[in-house]
Amino acid sequence: MSAEVVWTWVAAGLTLSMFSFLYRDNPFFKLGEHLYVGVTVGYMLTVTWFEYLHPKLWLPLVVGTETGHDWSLLVPAFFGLLVLTRFVPSLAWLSRWSFALLVGFGAGVSIPRYISSNILSQVEGTVVPLWAGHWGAAVTTGVILVGVISTLVYFFFSVEHRGAIRVVSRVGVYFLMVSFGASFGATVMGRNALLFGRFYDLVDFAGARYYHATLVLLAVMVVSLAVWARWAGRGGGSEAPQA
Amino acid sequence: MFLQRQVPLAICFVVGVVFVFQDFVPHHDSEQLLTVFTDWGIIITGFASLLGVGSLIQVHWLHIKRQNAGWGYSVVTYVAMVGTLAAGIASGGKAAPDAQTGVMPAFGWVYNYTMVPLQGTMFAILAFFVASVAFRSFRARSVDSVLLLVAAVILLVGNVPLGEAAWRWVMPEGVPGIADVGDWVMNTLNLAVRRAILIGVALGIVATSLKFILGIERGYLGGGD
C-alpha cells in the first residue's frame, strides 16, 4: 500500500469526521476539530520559522551572509524577545515597547496609504464624466455616484436624518440591502463550491484505486455513531446526545 | 511609571510620525527605511505568534492536568501540533513535491491530506447552516428585505446553469441573462456600496491611527501597570 493510499484514507476519514457534525456534536467531530487546531498551529510555527524568522533573522544575524553579520537585526530581536515577557507577569509591561513599535509603525504607514488608495482613488473612480458615449455607461456611472453618496449619507450621523437627508439616507439603505443580498449570495456560492470540492474528493476516494476508503470509513463511522448514541443515551458519555 | 507608560507612548509617537512623513519623501534612503522596518515588523510579529502558541499549550495543559471532560482531545491537539512541527522541520519547511524527483516531503503530506481536508470541510459545512438560516430568516416583510432577498436570489440563481436555463425559459427574447443581471448587481450596485464602505473605513482607520500616534488611544498598552 503506497503512502498516497494511506494518506488518502486519513483525508477521507477526517473529511467524514467533520461532516459528522451535521448529525450532532460527536467524538469524531471533536477529534477532527482538535486535530485541525494542532495541525494549524504546527503549520503556523513551521511557516513562521522557515519563511520569516530563519531567512530574515537567523541567517543574517547568527549564521552571517557574504557581507558578514547584520548586527542591526539585534534591534528587532530585542523587541521580539520583549514580546515574550508577557509570559512573566512581573515583566509583562516590557512587551508594551514592542507593541508600541508595531502600532506606531502600522499607524504611520496606514495614514498616507489609506488616504491615497481608499479615499482619493475611490473618489476619483466615482466622480467621472457621466457621458462616455452611450446611455448604458451613463446610467451605470450615475447609479454608482448616487449609491456612493447616499450610502455615505446614511453613515453620517453628525446630522439628524430628517427631510432631504432622510430621503437620501433611505436610498442609501436600499443600496446597502442590495449589496448585503449580493454579498450573501456570493458567500453561499463560495461555500457551495467548497462543499462540492469536498464531495468530489470523497467520490474520488471511494474508487477501487484507494480501496474504497470513503465507503469503508463511512460504514465504520455510521456504526460507531449508532453505538455511541445508544451508549451516551444511557448516560455513558460525558455529554449526553441532545434530543 | 516612566518606563511603563511614557516610553511606549514616545516610541509609538516617534515611529508613527516618521512613517507618516516617510511616504512623502521619494528618496532611496526613505524607501530603505520602510523596507528595514517592514522586515523588523515581520520578525517581531513572528515572536508575537509564539504568545498565541504559549497560551494554547497552557490551556490544553491545564485540561490534561485536571483531567477535565474530554482531556484526551487536548492530547490529540498536542500530538498534531508536535507531529506537524516535526514534519515541517524534517522537510525544511517545504510542502511542495521535489522538482526533480517528484517526491512529496512529509510536511506536504500533512498539509495536503490533513490540513486542507479539515479546513475545506470546516468551511464547507457552513453552507448547510447558511442555507438553514436563510430559509428561516428570509421573509419579504418590507421593501428592505425584498431588495435583500431579490439580490441574493439573482446571485444564487445566476451562478448555476439550471437557473440560467429557467430564466431563459420564463423571460421573453431580448431580456439579458440572469448571470448578466447578477454581474450588473455586483459591479454597479454592490460596487457603489463597497466604495462608500471603503471610504468610511479608511476615514476611521486614519482617525484611529492619529489617535494611536498622539497617545489618545492607549488600548494596546493593556490594563494595569
Determine contact, residues B149/B140, Cβ cutoff 8 Å: yes
Burial label for B77, CB within 10 Å (0-12, 13-18, 19+), is buried
| Chain B CB contacts of A51 below 8 Å | 93
User: For B7-34, what is each residue's pLDDT tens digit?
Assistant: 999 999 999 999 999 999 999 999 999 9
CA–CA distance, B157 with A143 (Å, rounded to integer): 24
Q: How far is CA B181 from CA A141, B159, B168, B189, B220, in A?
A: 16, 11, 13, 11, 46
User: For A52-98, what is each residue's pLDDT tens digit?
Assistant: 999 999 999 999 888 899 999 999 999 999 999 999 999 999 999 99
In this prediction, what percent of chain A has a pLDDT beyond 90? 80
Residue with cell 439579458: B176
pLDDT at A238: 52
- Put simply, the chain B residues between 96 and 115 with a CB less than 8 A from any chain A CB are 104, 107, 109-115
SS3 category, A68: strand
Q: How far is A36 from chain B (nearest CA, A)?
A: 6
Closest CA to A24 of A236, A234, A232, A235: A232
Element (H, E) at B197: helix B190-213
Q: How far is B33 from chain A (nearest CA, A)?
A: 11
Domain ranges of chain B: 14-68, 75-124, 126-218
- Interface probe for A, chosen from B21, B40, B115 (most Cβ of A below 10 Å), is B40
CB atoms inside a 10 Å sphere around CB A117: 12
pLDDT band at B223 (very low <50, low <70, confident <90, very high): low
| Chain A CB contacts of B140 below 8 Å | none
- Are A35 and B118 within 8 A, CB to CB? yes
Which of B70, B147, B195 lies closest to A181 in CB terms? B147
> How distant is the alpha carbon of residue A183 from its chain centre?
16
pLDDT band at A240 (very low <50, low <70, confident <90, very high): very low
Determine contact, residues B189/A179, Cβ cutoff 8 Å: yes
| Chain B CB contacts of A35 below 8 Å | 76-77, 80, 114, 118
- Are B48 and A83 within 8 A, CB to CB? yes
User: For A131-166, what is each residue's pLDDT tens digit?
Assistant: 878 888 899 999 999 999 999 999 998 999 999 999
CB atoms inside a 10 Å sphere around CB B51: 14
CA–CA distance, B78 with B74 (Å, rounded to integer): 6
- Are A31 and B73 within 8 A, CB to CB? yes
